[in-house]
Amino acid sequence: MYEICPHTGSSDRSSISQVEKFHIILNMEKEENKFVNKAEEDEMEIYGYDLCRWKLVLVTVGVICSGGFLLLLLYWMPQWRVKATCRRTTLKDCEVVLLRTTDEFKIWFCAKVHIMPSLGANPLQNPNPIVHKVSNGHAVHLCESAAEENKNDLKKYLPIRYFTHHSVKYFWNDLVQSFDVVRGLDESTLCSSIHKEHSTGLAKGMHDYRKVFYGVNEIAVKVPSIFKLLIKEVLNPFYIFQLFSVILWITDEYLYYALAIVIMSVISIVSSLYTIRKQYVMLHDMVAAHSIVRVSVCRGNQEEILSTDLVPGDIMLIPSNGTIMPCDAVLLSGTCIVNESMLTGESVPVTKINLPNPSEDPKATGDEIYSPEVHKRHTLFCGTNVIQTRFYTGELVKALVVRTGFSTAKGQLVRSILYPKPTDFKLYRDAYLFLLSLVVVAGIGFLYTVINSILNKVPAHTIIIESLDIITITVPPALPAAMTAGIVYAQRRLKKIGIFCISPQRINICGQLNLVCFDKTGTLTEDGLDLWGIQRVENARFLLPEERACSESLLKSEFVACMATCHSLTKIEGVLSGDPLDLKMFEAIGWILEEATEEETALHNQIMPTVVRPSKQLFPESKQATNQEMELFELSTSYEIGIVRQFPFSSVLQRMCVIARVLGEKRMDAYMKGAPEVIANLCKQETVPADFECVLEEYTKQGFRVIALAHRKLESKLTWHKVQTINRDAIESNMDFLGLIIMQNKLKQETPAVLEELHKANIRTVMVTGDNMLTAISVARDCGMILPQDKVIIAEALPPKDGQAARINWHYADTLAKCTSSSPAINSEDIPVKLVHESLEDLQMTKYHFAMNGKSFAVILEHFQDLVPKLVLHGTVFARMAPDQKTQLVEALQNVDYYVGMCGDGANDCGALKRAHGGISLSELEASVASPFTSRTPSISCVPKLIREGRAALITSFCVFKFMALYSIIQYISVTLLYSILSNLGDFQFLFIDLAIILVVVFTMSLNPAWKELVARRPPSGLISGPLLCSVLSQIIISFSFQIFGFFWVKQQSWYEPWTPDSDACNVLDATNTSSAGGGNETLHDEHNIKNYENTTLFFISSFQYLIVAIVFSKGKPFRQPCYKNFLFVISVIVLYVFIFFIMLHRVESIDTFLELVCVPYEWRLRILIIVILNAIVSVLMENVLLDMILWKVVFNRDKQGEYRLTIPQPPQESVVRCGACFLSSLFGCRERTPKAKYMHLAQELLVDPEWPPKPRTTTEAKVPSQENGSYQIITVT
């Protein structure tokens, strides 16, 4: 970096200043690109700029000269705005930063750099002044000290540079020479230091110092004022163009249509403002409901502050009656029961325990870095509801604040809603290209009008008006409203069937979905689990399965005791609450749970245990006992178990454990339940049945959820207090295997039928679940996601360990059974067969599927990136997936060009629902605010309905866009032809066309409802595709030809003469005397030369052409209902046809006067009718026969994925058709080529790959990446 010498003489300053500038420019050129949020989802490039006065002056002049248009341009383009008003400089000295996202969208943002005074640069380190003052016992408030010592101690304050982007502050970091986010205690903080260094809280001075950096602890969703929203909406380029058009029309006295456009724009803006503001208010209310509360903190002694004053490092006291968490905090002491529905979508209470203290627990990992995600069961997240707390007498429930504001889990969720990623859809990109081409056409018409008018000596005022008018004709201002109509109608239809949409633009994208990911539990299957039965173990042998666990013989068995105690259930306001599985298990035995009250806990110096006991009805003797004997009977049969300590369920360990004691017994018992494979490994092998794996696999294959139970009698030396501090590893070993609990998770009734409908429509289905893999595979088979004859290949990926490279072991699901004594050789028939299919779509119907769990998926993403596309191409089951892994899977599928839908019940699916092209939440909880679609009924039947409506809306958008393009071109042709004779359409002719024909047709042709079933092909994804372009271009040529024909044919008529007010062509019977058929059509009586025979002819022909193309483009099957079922459209078209036929064939003087039409002979009216009929026949034949039957099927042969490829017609086809196909294919430049979609290209490659799919019982290894290219070399080992 450069330095400035403060002692330089004044005479040398100018020369050094020049040298400085040179060095700055040199450094900037050499400076590497800087990034913020490096390697994160919101990674951005960053550039530094300084304001430049002379550039500002030039821009100001440009704005004035352009009438403000330059200002609008700079408003739309932030990168131009910064570069036009600033000069490049280093980040360290910049006043403005320019940011650009590194994703595929490359969006630009700019932000102003601010400076604030601070005692230090790192909020997590103690600055010297504070250390000195605190050590002397005087905590000084930062703001007060700054005010008092401003004159004397100003030098000790450092200027800290920062900017704010998307509600996050970025501070200058000298170490990385860039701006960076200030992290809380959630990164690079050891678990040991949390207890040693951070457990005492913050002094006042340190708190104030940190607050300078972290700011107010608040997730502030500001609801913009209506005025701000209005300005932002009105400055949209389309509305600016509409404003330009309206001003032009008013100048040209074309008032009525201008008024119509203004009314439409106002309605559109008002509805848009209402929707946007409503969403802001909803989000604000959701976030602000409990954002500011009073909390108690430790500052040497206990004091009460507002939650907005919390900073990372504060010790927060959790009240016994619970609270809404205002920040993310790690629990240091005590236990909390928390409702996390705000984040997970599930209202099941979760037990949080304190973070283990390594100094008290010698076996704990002292050097482990704390992470809110890894240590989730010790972390209280912002926005979650702490329902109850448990604690020792005299010891408060304390939590260390680790993140505040928008850095919290809730803050990140709100940010993702406030600042979503833009939707990338080919239709919208193509629409802008199409508009650009219309602008080019308008430019040609503009030049033609100017040159033609100058040559004919037209006044300058008229030239300006008419040349600009041709632009508004070619690029219709009503296009945005017309395009929105279909989406609005689709949104209304979705609302009627119980699907609510907060992102209407996504409806069109849903029409392209060709893969849908489903969560399992609560989505494909019923939400709850039912107890199917139990299978106990005695003497290392399985007994027969039993349906009921509450029989008299099992009442005091260890199996039932384990079911009664090993759970995380609690009573909240007298109602038993907890995990649904635990609830079902506890209800199945019919026991009673009783918890100690706060008064009972206060009487003892320990947490009083939760007690479980059987209900009296379970004792057989109670039925025969008399009232007199009852008291003695109760004393003799009282059987209670106290839960002394609980080790909560851990998804990492896949088990939970409790320590309990039966009333009256000295020794305690340990009970454990969890994943069968895990439990069996922790038990004495002599207690595990030999056929354990075979029995387990039989259950999982049938789709049951299996839980194993184990028990151990603890040593008598283990006292109450020792149990409270013992490590769970010391307990969870040498257990006795008790048996299995078999839970049934039934498929929803509609699941198989919906999946079959999707498969028939060639839409892939994928299961993404947190459940066991074999259970998930079984459910996939049961619901038809995997066909009975298909093979399932399980990819088991292992990370690098002990010098060994990462590897993937390939197993075939049907060969995993270990029941037989000898493993048979794999039959060659078991290996999937790859078939060469006629259609590319059938590639995904090959006979193998991949299945993997979350751990394997993470290893493959990190070490086998080249294999990811191949695996997701045939990956059907993804089990044990964490929420972020679901999002990564959606992104991996999108990377190979799938249009991905995601359907979940809101539990842990938030990220994937947001990231997918079409996310459908089956839950109406708060976590689903971010999902584009929410179904009122929790059923996957909404998925095909949404796709059908999406396809209908997409086809409607194409129809409307094509119609609006043709409307503008037809009118453009009419006006250009009339400009050649210095004429034009009249104001009321324009008004009739624009209002009576175009607007009526546009808003009624969009009403076609969706087709009743999903078909096996998708609509095109963009406007720039062969059939669509051919359709538009062919209709343009037809319309142009018939208008040209009519324009010149009228001049050849015997009665034709330049029209004057005295002309009476209607009464001319013998037109031989009218030989002067040349000349112009100028008249002194008509200022704008509107009334003439050419105008009348073109008006009638073009009016019919608008209706013809409306009918031709208004296609129904297979994506929409036929247009004849759209009654409003049919009635509108019939009424317009009848009216235009009537005024054309029967002269009505008042109408002719109003529309500025002239009288023409009846025979010419009949000839116009013939022209119109021929035009209609040619248009319909071109669209429905030539394009749909020949081009669509022969040349473009659209496969079912929405791409186009040439196929050679198969025999027995006639040589004429074959030659025709070859000619058409060469004409349109269509050659057999690689498919555009990556997944289709990959599928073609894998067809001829002899090494794919992997053979059973093989291993794929990844070598350490070479430093040259960084790619992994993959070796397959048998």
Catalytic residues: 519
434, 421 contact by CB (below 8 A): no
616, 638 contact by CB (below 8 A): no
Alpha-carbon dihedral sign for residues 115, 116, 122, 124: negative
Rounded distance between C-alpha atoms, residue 377 and residue 380, angstroms: 8
Rounded distance between C-alpha atoms, residue 145 and residue 142, angstroms: 5
Largest CA distance in the chain: 133
Rounded distance between C-alpha atoms, residue 437 and residue 333, angstroms: 68
Q: Are strands 570-572 and 575-577 parallel, antiparallel or unpaired?
A: antiparallel
- 194: which residues sit within 8 A by CB, 6+ positions away? 185, 330, 332, 355, 370, 400
Rounded distance between C-alpha atoms, residue 355 and residue 335, angstroms: 10
Half-sphere exposure of 521 (CA within 13 A, CB side): 24
SS3 708: strand
Ramachandran assignment for 200, one of left (phi > 0), alpha (psi -120 to 50 degrees), beta (any other)? alpha
Q: Across the strands, what pairs with 87?
A: 50
Rounded distance between C-alpha atoms, residue 1017 and residue 1117, angstroms: 12
Phi, psi of 1122 (to 5 degrees): -55, 150
Q: What angle do CA 1192, 1104, 1110 make, to 5 degrees?
A: 40
Give the N- to C-terminal CA distance of the chain in Å, as an integer.
Answer: 56
Rounded distance between C-alpha atoms, residue 923 and residue 910, angstroms: 11
Rounded distance between C-alpha atoms, residue 1237 and residue 1063, angstroms: 64
And the tokens for 553? 């013989």
Length of the chain: 1278
SS3 50: strand
Alpha-carbon dihedral sign for residues 728, 733, 738, 741: positive
Rounded distance between C-alpha atoms, residue 64 and residue 50, angstroms: 23
And the tokens for 1231? 């050659």
Rounded distance between C-alpha atoms, residue 805 and residue 648, angstroms: 34
Q: How far is CA 370 from the centre of its chain?
A: 29
Rounded distance between C-alpha atoms, residue 123 and residue 184, angstroms: 9
User: Alpha helix locations (H) across 295-425?
Assistant: 341-344, 409-418
Rounded distance between C-alpha atoms, residue 482 and residue 994, angstroms: 12
Rounded distance between C-alpha atoms, residue 252 and residue 472, angstroms: 12
SS3 1260: strand
DSSP state at residue 175: T
Q: What angle do CA 421, 425, 426 make, to 5 degrees?
A: 150
Checking 585-590 for CB contacts under 8 A at 24+ apart, the result is 585/531, 585/707, 585/741, 585/743, 588/531, 588/548, 588/549, 588/550, 588/563, 589/549, 589/550, 589/560, 589/563, 589/564, 589/614, 590/550, 590/614, 590/615, 590/617, 590/618
Q: Across the strands, what pairs with 645?
A: 659
- 759: which residues sit within 8 A by CB, 6+ positions away? 765, 784
